[in-house]
């Protein structure tokens, strides 16, 4: 085994595995059903046997704003365990390159826009996902520390919000796009005249299709070597209200869209400055509309089996 993708069966990990296979790169994914990365001994034993030269960490406990804010202990502890076990095992077993996936939520809530990598830890975090963000910040710092102390050629990448096939459609834990898709589909199937979403719908968000992110990560694995993290975003943003309108149009929901503004919105705006990755020759290829159509098709097909 040459490259190991932790979280290889999920939204991001499966896209990375497929992209590498498409480029004839020897890669294998591992999922939580095979190895519980929260368990130190289990993780170390697996890495020792697998002997990867490169590890890409796409494994994490993730979820939407309400799931984050309701489960801060689990988001902090589980993610720290996963990344710490993988990173330490990679060091002990001589992994040449480690790619740590952060998240755009690590940046301050009221960050200047577009967000440059240098803005990390320059202000207060959004409280609803602070535990998850702190875990990711710790991972970035740990990768940087291994570079400094041991001369590792390890890197951290910071993707914007990801969507695509194999997204999580569990309404208790899902992010905004799969949540909207499922609610609109449910409304159509049950002949409902309205759908309600939480918050005002005013925040602006940037989304990246999973295959576009996977292509960027392939480039980073091959070419990027810096102790500074690198942003990966499309450069385009949309309000949550406009996103709901777009998704409703694609799925064919013609009823009313309501907003419950008693719920928090989270960060008002998140748009990454992705100059570094674009300067390396990468650009997003999948428009938001085309990506949503693809995810909706995938979800619809998954319901048939």
Q: Please answer whether residues 231 and 272 qualify as being in contact, where contact means their C-beta atoms are separated by less than 8 angstroms.
A: yes
Active site residues: 132
- Give the single-character DSSP code of 15: H
Task: Report CA-CA distances (Å) from 276 to 18, 155, 207.
Answer: 24, 14, 18
Nearest Cα to Cα of residue 208 among 157, 259, 156 = 157
Going by the DSSP 8-state scheme, the letter that residue 124 receives in this structure is P
Beta bridge partners of 256: 194
**CA quadruple 100, 108, 288, 236: dihedral, nearest 10:** -110
Residue 280 CB neighbour total at 10 angstroms: 14
SS3 call for 57: strand
List Cα–Cα distances, 103 to 18, 23, 228, in angstroms: 21, 26, 14
Cis, bond preceding 175 (omega within 30 deg of 0): no
> Which residues does residue 56 pair with via DSSP β-bridges, in sequence order?
5, 99
- Long-range CB pairs of 141-148 (<8 Å, 24+ gap) are 142/83, 142/84, 142/87, 142/100, 143/87, 143/98, 143/100, 143/227, 144/227, 146/87, 146/91, 146/98, 147/227, 148/227
CA dist 236 → 163, 186, 210 (Å): 14, 29, 15
Give CA–CA dist 182/196, Å, rounded. Answer: 12
């Amino acid at each position: 085994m040459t490259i190991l993708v932790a979280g290889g069966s999920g939204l991001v990990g499966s896209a990375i595995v497929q992209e590498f296979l498409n480029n004839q790169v020897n890669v294998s994914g591992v999922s939580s059903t095979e190895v519980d990365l929260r368990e130190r001994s289990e993780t170390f034993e697996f890495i020792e046997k697998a002997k990867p030269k490169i590890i890409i960490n796409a494994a994490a406990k993730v979820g939407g704003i309400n799931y984050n804010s309701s489960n801060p202990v689990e988001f902090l502890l589980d993610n720290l365990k996963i990344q710490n076990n993988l990173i330490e095992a990679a060091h002990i077993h001589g992994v040449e390159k480690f790619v740590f996936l952060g998240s755009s939520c690590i940046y301050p809530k009221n960050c200047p826009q577009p967000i440059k990598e240098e803005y990390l830890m320059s202000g207060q975090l959004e409280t609803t996902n602070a535990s998850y963000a702190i875990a990711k910040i710790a991972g970035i710092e740990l990768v940087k520390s291994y570079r400094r102390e041991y001369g590792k050629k390890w890197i951290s990448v910071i993707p914007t919000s990801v969507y695509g096939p194999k997204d999580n459609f569990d309404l208790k834990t899902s992010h905004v796009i799969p949540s909207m898709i499922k609610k609109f589909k449910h409304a159509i199937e049950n002949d409902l005249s309205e759908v309600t979403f939480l918050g005002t719908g005013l925040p602006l968000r940037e989304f990246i299709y999973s295959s576009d992110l996977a292509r960027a990560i392939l480039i980073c694995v091959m070419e990027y070597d810096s102790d500074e993290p690198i942003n990966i975003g499309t450069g385009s943003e949309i309000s949550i209200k406009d996103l709901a309108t777009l998704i409703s149009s694609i799925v064919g929901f013609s009823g009313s869209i309501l907003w419950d503004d008693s719920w928090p919105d989270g960060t008002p705006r998140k748009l990454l400055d992705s100059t570094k990755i674009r300067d390396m020759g990468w650009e997003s290829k999948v428009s938001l509309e085309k990506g949503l159509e693809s995810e909706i098709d995938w979800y619809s097909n998954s319901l048939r089996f």
